[in-house]
Amino acid sequence: MDNVLRSYCGTQYRYDERGNLLERIENGKAGKFTWDLYDRLRRYEDDRLVVEFGYDALGRRVYKDSRSKYRNRVQAGPVWNENARRALDEQLGCNLTLFIWDGDTLAFEQRGRDGKGQTTHYVFEPGTFVPVAQGVMNHIEEMLRQPNYHFPYDIDRDPVWQHKPTPKPFDALVWYQCDHLGIPMEVTDANAKIAWTAIYEAWGTAKENGNKQADLSGMHYPLRFQGQYFDPEAVLHYSRYRYYDPFQGRFITRDPIGLYGDINSYTYAPNPIEWTDPLGLSRTGRTPPPTGKKNIDNRTCCAEKWIIQRYDKRCSGHVPGVGNVSLYRDPKDGNWYSPDKTEHGSSWKVFTESRNSTLEWLADLNEHGDMLTGKKHKGPTGRQIDLKSLKCQEKK
């Protein structure tokens, strides 16, 4: 079992011997993928365009160069053909994009050719992949020239140390409004007006809506699930180590860390509303601030609330001042557990059983099964329960 997806919703897929997606056929049209020896996507091609990808020594994607498949018309002149090619490039969103990184997060990108284009900076919450802001300058920032590292090295001649950066204002600054998983749902401008919204399907396919002002400014919003960057040319999401297909809800290559990631090397997560995989290696759940309570901090993000599953006897009936109750005896510790009906801050009540079949209140538990400190039970009501007044049944 190789876990590769051969066919899904009318789309056919073909893979190479290393498990990388080679061809995707949808509605009779084929998209072809080319990979290097490190299982990195180097080229995508279909009947509309060709996209080339490049990576640095750490495997981070540093450029994306897309061009339309325009065929020159023999009867037209070179100027007409060039203008028609550029018009088709613009229609398909083809361009040259350079990516500059800060560790594993994208710092900024430059999009354009021939010295004309746009520079977009991204700001994330510290130590995370949750976007906070996006600043745009409507020009290409000039890069420093490549230094000469021939021996002997002279720091005084290194352009990195000789350059004095000057702050430049953004032409536009927008703010990301994200959901509980850090997925962008809205983008607002400096006046708190909504510039962009997205409605997501379960596994990440987004339906975008932008206002006219945002469209005229040429801004685009490619961030999707945490750590993912949307490539419209191939309709894929690029993450640090792999490419993700939101239509499938799977990655299109095997996990670089093998079975350390999952028994299924293509899977994204058990469910996309509680888990994330920013690097494309291994899923992680939401990590709320620690509470100091073991049963809460050790729970996985998709775990259910604490419930009674192990019991050997069940009693139910009416308790004066409390109402109808159900009690369950734990065969391991002999204590009785009952859902709290008094609504005074706890979720469960714990009782001990005396020799005369009377239950004595012992403690209160929260919804995660942790014992609440202090005397949560106030007053005599419900402190003692006579088991003889209840209907009891042994568990079969």
> pLDDT digits over 161-180, tens only?
777 778 888 989 999 999 98
* Among candidate residues 341, 343, 348, the one with its CA nearest the CA of residue 368: 348
Residue 26, pLDDT above cutoff 60: yes
Residue 124: its pLDDT value, please? 97
Mean pLDDT of 19-36: 95
Distances 82 to 62, 70, 118, 156, 306 between C-alpha atoms, Å:
27, 9, 22, 45, 67
Q: How far apart are CA 312 and CA 52, in angstroms?
A: 65
Q: What angle do CA 97, 72, 93 make, to 5 degrees?
A: 25
pLDDT average, residue stretch 62-91:
88
Asked whether residue 149 carries a pLDDT value surpassing 80, the answer given is: no
Q: Which CATH number does 7-284 carry? A: 2.180.10.10
The per-residue pLDDT for 365 is 86
**Predicted confidence (pLDDT) at residue 56 exceeds the cutoff of 90:** yes
Residues of the chain with CATH 2.180.10.10: 7-284
Average pLDDT over residues 127-143: 91
With residue 98 as reference, give the H or E element that holds it: strand 96-102
Q: How far apart are CA 159 and CA 173, in angstroms?
A: 30
State both tokens at 350: 């714990």
Cβ neighbours around 16 below 10 Å, total:
14
Which amino acid type is present at position 219? M
pLDDT at 136: 93
Q: For 275-307, what is each residue's pLDDT tens digit?
A: 999 999 988 876 655 656 565 555 555 556 677
Give the end-to-end CA distance of the chain in Å, rounded to a whole number. Answer: 41
Q: Which two tokens stand for residue 383?
A: 């402190």
As a whole number, mean pLDDT of residues 86-93 equals 89
Tokens of 35: 């990979």
Cα separation, 374 vs 250, in Å, equals 48
Q: Is 131 exposed, middle or buried (0-12, 13-18, 19+ CB in 10 A)?
A: buried
pLDDT of residue 291: 59
